[in-house]
Structure 1
């Protein structure tokens, strides 16, 4: 080795600043609890001013109070993500108050477990509308301001079911598979305006949506054996991934689906 040479990796200057979301306004749908609230907490910690969304105003108020106890700046916007008129009014109100929406996280989602040959049509439509159509509707409403400013970040919450099927949840898998491709389409159409669109795909996490599975000992045992890391995910483990995709740290990442799944999609 030459005198003065080093085999240490070069230092990236200003690395913490790349993850700083100070001054950014983030709207997170379906964030009165579960993964949505966890991501809201993470974005707040990174400096963002977060607007929580849900249909239940009481739950939203509780989530807001929880975050404000930590000293975070938090707003709420109660609207149905499947109703375009409600979305339009809500986005207009946010823009009037905050002036901009820099980050959109399309997180709202529902689950309905029934064998496919018995699956009710109205339940199928609700799953598709809530998990897939809502991302189109909210994304289209919010992106108009992003296009004008020539910048913005959208994160669509996909799933391991964007890649894998499980018994009794075919419509959910269809919605999340569709969301994966909608993410790529958004990235293609809106990249020319400086807008990045990525998917964040959780594996099996202990959330309200998965409560029936968490309490199923047989399923939990199967999951732990099937997952390379051998366990359920903890909601906090999505925090860094959400901040990464929302921040300048991922400034050249778009159209990508980031799986945070303990490795379950990487093996048979």
Structure 2
């Protein structure tokens, strides 16, 4: 593909006056999403490239030079899951946040197994996406190994969890629930958010599925690992 032609098809969104906090590539075939996210990130000081064609987006991402790639999954001509797979094969250290309307746990786990660092479901809050962008870029710049939260040691690449020196086996749902809590350090996460993010369900006040899985995690990781905030939700105990 002609480099000049490819460059012309890339729409650069940049705020020259703002301090650049990182370089981000967004690959999504929805122009409304591209422009909405790009404008928001630009206002926060990021340099943003956007690409609506997954083939072009993959080619650009494989050249490297991005602190973060935000990737949609449902795109014509080339599925986002294929883009993710090929990108990580070429750039194994590339930080990727998947942004998709697919909310089933199987898809999320597959993305994590292929190397995605985070998964945000559409529709989404820009403020939440922004916080995840900050966390992912900061972690990539400062961390070279597993995360340590209190007595927990979580290897996001290998999907392994330890309490102290003892490995703990988690199911797919349990790991996704723990991962969702990790994404909100020091903050309470509502049952509504957890149900939507981990299970892809709308909130049902009569459902106790969150309570059941939190109980399982406490049994495996320790009773003090997850704190119940009455009337609000759950918080990961970082002590």
* TM-score (normalizing by structure 1): 0.39
Larger Rg: 1
Decide which structure has greater helix share: 1
Higher relative contact order (CA 8 A, sep 6+): 1
